[in-house]
Structure 1
Amino acid sequence: MEEELRKDAAIEVLRSRRDFHPAHYLFKIEHFSVLLEEDIEKCESDDFEAGGYKWRLCLYPKGNKERNGNGYISLYLVISDTRNLPHGWEVNAQFRLFVYNHIENKYLTIEGG
């Protein structure tokens, strides 16, 4: 019982405020194994808007070899149109990606900011 109390005391709650409404986007791949069998290097989602910017998800089914991801799935959140952004632009974003593995019925969560 004492060990359980220590675990509960270690839970950290983060609070923040934001100017933009939360957004969500679903990028569903029906047959992931086909991407592997067809040796597809990179797959991208359609553009979607969040926080006033256009984004897309970029997936490397066998990993991004240029970034030492070989043998792993690499997933990136990318700004899709940078032509209209000013020189030296910078965007700060908080995001959470969920990757669902239907075989194990589990999610991998990736969070960044």
Structure 2
Amino acid sequence: VAAESVANAEIQSSEEPQASRFTWTIESFSRLNMKKLYSDVFIVGGYKWRVLIFPKGNNVEYLSMYLDVADSSTLPYGWSRYAQFSLAVVNQLSPKFTIKKDTQHQFNQRESDWGFTSFMPLSD
């Protein structure tokens, strides 16, 4: 079963918010055995982002999925950025079972990723 994660990040600035779509296709998702997995880095609004998943859950029985500031460890002290975004798992066999969740967050050094610890049950 292939899973697809879609992260849309809109960056708030003095200009119009920038919107983009990033699709991450994961082959053999049910056979992943690592604790966490990062997507490739993508750029929205001049910022580097990536999607972070915990295929077996982040200490819960759910798929955990977050948007992560990819270069947070190298950003200057006091950095902050705001994003509105959606994360989705697309069911390629039956699109009606696709799950999408929306959120927003002011990212900073202490909270450089944000999303959903209990995105969807692993038993489904």
TM > 0.5 fold call: yes
1:108 and 2:99 are equivalent in the alignment:
yes
2:61 and 2:73 mapped to 1: Cα distance?
33
Identity %: 38
Aligned to 1:61: 55
1:101 and 1:32 mapped to 2: Cα distance?
12
1:84 and 1:93 mapped to 2: Cα distance?
19
Name the aligned partner's letter for residue 54 of structure 1.
Answer: K
Aligned to 2:31: 34
TM-score of the pair, normalised by structure 2: 0.64
Aligned to 1:82: 72
Change (3 A) 1:53 1:110: same
Aligned to 1:5: none
Q: RMSD of the alignment, in Å? A: 1.9
CA offset digits 1:55-103 (Å, max 9, x no partner)? 00011011112xxxx1100001000012453312111101011211235
Name the aligned partner's letter for residue 21 of structure 2.
Answer: H
Larger Rg: 1
Deviates more, 1:20-29 or 1:96-105: 96-105
Gaps of at least 5 residues in structure 2 are 1-14, 105-124
User: Helix, strand or coil: the match of 1:64?
Assistant: coil
User: Helix, strand or coil: the match of 1:54?
Assistant: strand
Gaps of at least 5 residues in structure 1 are 1-17
2:29 and 2:74 mapped to 1: Cα distance?
34
TM-score of the pair, normalised by structure 1: 0.70
Which has the larger strand fraction?
2
Higher RCO structure (Cα 8 Å, ≥6 apart): 2
